[in-house]
Amino acid sequence: AALEKNNVITKIDLSNNDLGEAGGRAIAAALEKNRALTELFLQRNRLGDGGGQALAASLEKNRTLTKLYLGDNGIGGEGGQALAAALERNRTLTDLSF
């Protein structure tokens, strides 16, 4: 909820927090409304395909994020395809790693 309302913080590193798919979905929901964050680090959180798909959906609405790091999250084919499709519509993300 705090991330949805934030209008000051531009960079967050939540790597290595074992967020899981539910955490990935929560962050994705917040990203849809956030208008300040430009860099998000989520490496090694076991987000899986579900978290990857949720983040992909949020990228279609978010217009501020420029860097997203998702390495070592077990994002497979379904999550990867969703992220690739989101990139067709997102015009702000310049750096994506997963």
pLDDT one digit per residue (tens) for the chain, 98 residues: 688 888 999 999 999 999 999 999 999 999 999 999 999 999 999 999 999 999 999 999 999 999 999 999 999 999 999 999 999 999 999 999 98
Q: What is the pLDDT of residue 34?
A: 95
What's residue 75's pLDDT?
97
Query: What pLDDT is recorded for position 44?
Result: 98
Q: Measured between alpha carbons, how far is residue 81 from residues 11, 35, 78, 93, 98 in Å?
A: 26, 25, 5, 16, 12
Residue 6 pLDDT: 87
Contact 23/47 with Cβ under 8 angstroms? yes
Q: Which amino acid is at 24?
A: G
pLDDT given at position 2? 86
Q: From the CB of residue 51, how many other CB atoms can be counted at a distance below 10 Å?
A: 27
| Per-residue confidence (pLDDT) for residue 69, from 0 to 100 | 98
